[in-house]
Amino acid sequence: MSATELARAARQAIEELGELPVESISGLQWDGDKWQVSVDVRELERIPNTTDVMATYVVDFDEDGSLLGYHRTRRYLRGQAEGG
C-alpha cells in the first residue's frame, strides 16, 4: 500500500471502529514489523474549541496493509502546546 492508502485506511478505521472525528494524520512510519499511522481526533467538543479534548491514536497495519489494531497514545487539550 502507498502512504496515501495507509493514511486513508487509518482514517477509516478510526472513524468507523472508534466512531471519532479525525482531524489529521500526524505521522506514518515502518517500525520493522508493521506500519504505524498516527491519527489525531477530537474526543470531546467544548466551547471555546481551544478546550476540545483531543487524542492521538496509532493504527497498526502489517506489511500488506491489513489492519492489526489501534490504541490511544496521547490525550490533550486542543490549545495545549506539545509536551505541556
Taking alpha carbons only, the member of 48, 59, 69 closest to residue 11 is: 59
Q: What does the alpha-carbon distance between residue 70 and residue 22 come to, in Å, rounded to a whole number?
A: 14
CA dihedral sign of residues 30, 39, 73, 58: negative
Q: 3-77: what CATH class? A: alpha beta
Taking alpha carbons only, the member of 10, 64, 60 closest to residue 40 is: 10
Mean pLDDT, residues 58-68 taken together: 96
Q: Would you list the domain boundaries of the chain?
A: 3-77
pLDDT score recorded for residue 79: 87
Whole-structure pTM value: 0.90
pLDDT score recorded for residue 27: 97
Query: Is 83 a residue whose pLDDT tops 70?
Result: no
Query: Is 82 a residue whose pLDDT tops 80?
Result: no
- pLDDT bracket for residue 1 (50, 70, 90): confident
Q: Measured in whole angstroms, how far is the alpha carbon of residue 55 from the centre of its chain?
A: 8
